[in-house]
Each structure stands twice: as structure tokens, then as C-alpha cells.
Structure 1
Amino acid sequence: MKKRTMIIVGVIAVVCIGIFVLPSLLGGNKKAGSEKKTVSEDLGIEYFDVPDIEQVYINGVIQPEQAEAFAKDSKMTSTPEIKVKNGDVVEPETELFTYEDKEVTKEIEAQNNTLSKLATKKQNIYNKWNRAIDNFNKAKEEERNTTGAAINEQHQAEIDGVDEEILFSNETIADLTTKQFISTKAKFKGRVSIPEVKDENAPVLRLTSDGLYVAGKVNEKDLMKIAVDQKANLSVVSSGTTVTGKISYIDDNPPEAKADQGENTSGEGTMSTYNVKLALDSLGGIKNGYHMQATINIGDNKPIEVPKKAIHEQDGKKYVLVNDFGSVIRRDVQVGEEKEGSMVINSGLESADRIIVSSKKDVKEGDLIEEDNQGSGEAAPAAKE
């Protein structure tokens, strides 16, 4: 009897342990708190859906309209004398730097040595001439084998010959002097940049124009969809700064020919790319070397009007919150004309963006929210390329 009782008590103990311990082992006692949590409650979010239009994306880099790096010349055997300062904005024909061509300097020195020798030679002729005249005057008339006029003519001819050599050397020196110091001048208006490190490969200085543009590439699939003067919305990849602009140039030829004999002609594989330039309407927050992404809307370029209450501002930048497939993200935008209850968005939005206009509770960047497609009666927008 006692044995039976002990078995029953043991079974009951095992069941109790299972009731309390198993949920913990199966994760039923998880700790709350994570960096991002999905909000499953009804937030009553009101959306504005950006029209789903075809777009072409162009990635590029900011470059100056004109730039020149002045490399060290092979004749530059001396340290250049820089005539400008780092950061100076110079006009065309401004002297940037000069340097001495020491080979030319050697030729000038050689010509100067020649001049010294010619001067000595000329003086010796005069001395010889004077002695000849003295000897002529001292000699008796019957002992003279020549005339004074003949003596003068002979020595004057020698002086004239030396003078010709002197004239030639002086002309040579004058010509060489113009080549002795080589002056380099600016070909366009630009800003001077002088490298801090003076190594062998560093240029003497660089000159870049203040005007900037975006140098990008477009693939052959999108080439025929775009045109010069087409408007573009551009954003800085690193900061999100947005500006407007337009296509200013499209190259008709790819940078490098890829038409090899074994190339795949079925339409698959690598496509050719073509150089594209985009002009910017504003350079605020833009610097040389920044990476940019341009968005070209194909077809209807009707401006997008977003409800004014959907636009927020922080640190002087305007932005909207977008439900990006359940994740709340921020898009910096450039606004244009203000209308009754709405504002025109010039740049910053993407096709089919779901902009959060309002909600019952605050929604912030980084929140994860459940997709609610029933509110709009539409399916979730397709993924953007």
C-alpha cells in the first residue's frame, strides 16, 4: 500500500514540474525589450501613396566642370616658385608658378663666357692697332711698307668681325633669357589647391573650377528612355541631401568597345554603359567627389503634392516618414510651392512610396509596423529595383 502511494505522489510531482518548467524551456518566459519591436496594435495610420511611375536611376560622382593638375616637367630641375596661395580663386592668364630651366641657364652662361672672350679679343685688336699706328708714325717715310689708311682698314675689319660675333651672342642670350624661366598660367577661372606633401608624384598644384556636375553612367536598357534637358532629382548618398537638376549631356558611344567575337548577343550578360552628365540647380551641401544618385521620372512629370501635415522638419531639413514594407524610414525631401493643405515635393521621394501622414500614436524612424493593406484596399507596392 505504501509503495502504491509513493508511486502516485511521484507521478503528481513530475506533472507539476512539467507544468512549471516546460514553458520556460520552450521560451514562454522570454525577456521583453529589443531595439526594434513590431507594433501590432491598431495605430490608425493614414497614408499618402506616391504614384507608381517608371523611373531610371543614374549613379554618379560630383566632378568639377574644369580641372587641371600641373605635374612636374622633366625640365623642372629646380624647385618651382609658386606665385599664388592655397585656396586662391584666380582668373585666366594669372601666373601660377615659374621654374628655371637649368639647361638653358648653362647655355646662357656659355654665351656670356663667349662674350668675355670676344671683349678680350676686341681689346687685343685695338692694342695691336695702336701699336701698328705708333710703329708707322715712328718709321721714316722711305721705310714704311704700307699706308696709315691700310693699317686702319685692316684692323677695323678685324674689329667689325668681332662685333658681329658679339652681336650674335647677345641676340642668342636675349632669346635664351625668354626661355630660362618658364611661366605657367591659368587657362580658366578656378580655385588653387597646393598639395601639403611634396613627394615626387605630387603635382605642383591643382586648379579646379567652382562649377560642379554629376558624371554618371546609364546602361543600354535605359539609354533610350532619357534625353538631354530631362529633369532629375538627385541625392547625396552619404548625407541624403537632395537637389534638383537636369541631364546636360548623353554620350552616344560607350567608353570602351565590348563587341568581342565571343560576346553573348542574346540580350543576357553584361550590358554596355554610356556616360551621362547632369547639371545641378544648387550646390548647397555638395562637394567635389561626393557620390550621387539621380532619379529620372519617365512619362508624366506632374509634381507630387503631399499633405502638409506629413512633412516634418529637423535641423533645417524637411523630411517625411515612409512605411517601407513594415519598416519606418526617413526620406529627406526638397519642397517647392505650398498649396492649400499640401506642398509640392521637388525631390527625395521614390515611386510607390507609402508616406505616413498621421497616426493615432507617435510613429518614429526605425519602428517596425505590421502591414495593413486593408486600410487602402490595395496590395502592398511592388519592390523597387
Structure 2
Amino acid sequence: MKKKKIMVIVGVIAVVLIGLFILPNLFGGKPTVGPEKNANTEDLGIEYFEVPDIEQVYINGVVQPEQAEAFSKDAKMTSTPEIKVNNGDVVEPETILFTYEDKEITKEIESQNNTLSKLATKKQNIYKKWNRAIDNYNKTKAEERNTTGAAIDEQHQAEVDSVDEEILFSNETIADLSTKQFISTKAKFKGRVSIPEVKDENAPILRLTSDGLYVAGKVNEKDLMKIAVDQKANLSVVSNGTSVTGKISYIDDNPPETKATPSESSSAEGSMSTYNVKLSLDSLEGIKNGYHMQATINLGDNKAIEVPKKAIHEQDGKKYVLVNDFGSVIRRDIQVGEEKGENIVVNSGLESADRIILSSKKEVKEGDLIGESKDETGEAAPIAAKE
């Protein structure tokens, strides 16, 4: 009985194996496993335009304002600064940004003002006494007068003059103190005001940044001698692909002073110095302070790249091409120039040896995985833009 069951089980297994492997081969089929059914070997009949392969230097950097200053609270001041500008204001040089009040000087000014009030009262009393003396003089008979009217006037005028000197001194003291009562901080350059929303002890009173931006990057010693000031560059924002043109505006002759750790100094990478590089931007459209960008410097022939118009797509006002990047379709935003017949000049956005997709028999869009084989029709169809 057991032997009979074993024979049945063996028979079932044999039928399954025949169904999976032998029959498909007899009829020319191939076994498939999982959901992938020739997805990467399907021939899409893609036509390419190849960007010339030239030597390039890449510089990674961060967008920074040409001028920037953060104003911290003065620890010596006991008062809270009074901000004279608003968040987002664009101010000119010498504009007062904020002021401190020196409380001690304010107390001295108050004391001098009190002195002035007392002196004014004293002066009024002198005039009253003077008038009474004149009245008494006029009421006294001539033979009984022991002084002259002129003497009375001289005496009281001297008292008034003395008080006037004290008043003058107090006024001069107040004027001098008033110039020191408020300490103002002014803008040194034209810029935009940024006032932190959260006020804590570490937050600056405000920041001032110029509207002009540049890219601060680094280049290693291997590529240092390949680049030069005023050399043209194509730059793209790492996060969104926005591309602009620019040029190298500054190259530092000396590496930053840093102390390498023993592990760094023992390796080739760690022993290679880097040098600061600044790149100016021809346009600031779509560029923000803090963006990470990659600059591409072409070292070969700087002849403009002309790309067929049919390879260029547009979405939301941005022009782009689709590129076969090692079997994946990616999008490169580009900046274009003049048209030349069926072609158009691409000023920036492309990389050396890019394989730009011109057309295909089936719709190809960003993110697709594509193959190299041919299908049966051989007919090419326009590539649809990604929605």
C-alpha cells in the first residue's frame, strides 16, 4: 500500500516537471519567473543624439549671498534693542537698523532736566525779588533811600546772570549726553532684512543679506591647474535640476588651513588639498540662498552644442530633454539659445556624452527603464512629455 502511494506521488511530480520545462521547450517558449516578462529587453526603437565626449571638471558648491551680516545682541547693554526696520525690507547703506538706549545716560539726562527746572524756578524768584526791591525803592522817600536804583538793578542782574550760566551748562550737558543716549547700528551695504521669528538668546537681532548671489565651491589639487578665472561654467541645482550659466570669478591660491587626522593623512584622498572657488551666476531665476549646485567646466572644444528641436520638451515654462542614463530615462533641464534650422543651441544643462532621446516607437517618459533591442515594426514615434 505504501509503495503504491509513493508511485502516485512520483508520477504527479513528473507531470509537473514536464509541464514547467519540457513542453515549453518543445513549442519554442521560455519559462518566466515573477512579474518581469521581457520588460528590459523590449525593443523601443529609440533614436539618440549623442553629446560629444569631452574632458570636464565638476565643482560642487553652495549658493551664498555676496555680502551677509548677522547682528547679535550686545551683552554689555541692559536694554532691549529697538528695531527700526521690518522683515523683508530692502535697505540702503547707512540706514539705521536698530538702536540701544543707554539707561545710565538717560538717568543723567533726567537729572540735568530736573536741575534746569530748579534753575528756572530760581530765576523766576530772582525776578520777583528784583521787582519787589524796585517797588520798595519807588515807595521810599528820596532822602531816606540808602541805595540807588542802579545798584539794585546791578545786584539782581548779577544773580540772574549767574543762574543763566548754570542753565547754559546744563543745556550743553544734556546736548552732549543726548548724542550718547541711543547707540544706533547702521547698514554697511544694500541688502534685505531678515528678522528671526523665534526670539531666543542665541538668535541674532536681525540679518542683512545682499540680493547678489554666488556659488562657493571647492576644487581638488588634481583639477586646480585645469581651470582659470573667467572660464565659463554650466551650473545646475542638485535638488530640482534648474540650470544656469556662469563663470569662475575667483580661485584661491592657498588651501584652507585645516588639521588632518592621522587616518586622513595616510590615505591618498586625505592627502589631496582642496581650494576655494567662487562662481558668478548669469541669472538668479529659480536660485535661492543655500541651494546646492554642481558646476560643469568644459575643458575641450567650447563650441556650442546644437540639439535637434524634436528632442526638446517644455513643461511649466522650463525646457528639458530626456536622457538614457545607463538604462534609466532621466530629465535634464536646459537653457537654450538661438535656433539654427532644425537645431537649437543648448547653453547649459547637458553633460559630456549624454545620450539624448530623439524619438521612439513607444512612449518613453522620465523614470522608465529601457533596453537596446529592436522590435518587429521598426517604426519610431514621438516621445511624450511626462505629465
Counterpart among 17, 30, 34 of residue 33 in structure 2:
30
Change (3 A) 1:192 1:47: same
Match of 1:381?
A: none
The one-letter code matched in structure 2 to 1:167 is L
The one-letter code matched in structure 2 to 1:335 is V
Match of 1:382?
A: none
The one-letter code matched in structure 2 to 1:339 is K
Mean Cα displacement is larger for which, 190-199 or 290-299? Answer: 190-199
Match of 1:15?
A: 11
Match of 2:305?
A: 304
CA distance in 2, matches of 1:267, 1:369: 38
Give the CA deviation at 1:23.
Answer: 7.6
- The alignment-based identity, stated in percent, is 77
Per the alignment, in what secondary structure is the counterpart of residue 227 of structure 2? coil
The answer to whether the 8 A contact 1:78-1:101 is kept is no
1:319-363, CA deviations, whole angstroms, 9 ceiling, x for partnerless residues? 222222222222222222211222211111111222222223333
CA distance in 1, matches of 2:20, 2:183: 85
Output the TM-score relative to the length of structure 2. Answer: 0.77
CA distance in 1, matches of 2:288, 2:266: 40
CA distance in 1, matches of 2:245, 2:129: 88
Give the CA deviation at 1:122.
Answer: 6.0
Give the CA deviation at 1:155.
Answer: 7.5
Match of 1:61?
A: 62
The one-letter code matched in structure 2 to 1:77 is S
Give the CA deviation at 1:257.
Answer: 4.5
Match of 1:377?
A: none
Q: Does 1:71 align with 2:72?
A: yes
Give the CA deviation at 1:306.
Answer: 1.8
CA distance in 2, matches of 1:119, 1:64: 57
Output the TM-score relative to the length of structure 1. Answer: 0.77
The answer to whether the 8 A contact 1:88-1:192 is kept is yes
The answer to whether the 8 A contact 1:80-1:98 is kept is yes
CA distance in 1, matches of 2:19, 2:78: 83
Unaligned runs of 5+ in 1: 373-385
Give the CA deviation at 1:149.
Answer: 8.7
Change (3 A) 1:175 1:263: same
Change (3 A) 1:364 1:22: farther
The one-letter code matched in structure 1 to 2:89 is D
The answer to whether the 8 A contact 1:98-1:181 is kept is yes
The answer to whether the 8 A contact 1:23-1:29 is kept is no
Mean Cα displacement is larger for which, 209-218 or 163-172? Answer: 163-172
Change (3 A) 1:122 1:317: closer
The answer to whether the 8 A contact 2:260-2:270 is kept is no
CA distance in 1, matches of 2:121, 2:279: 70
Match of 2:380?
A: none
The answer to whether the 8 A contact 2:44-2:372 is kept is no
1:24-70, CA deviations, whole angstroms, 9 ceiling, x for partnerless residues? 79x95634269xx7431333322222222111111111122222333
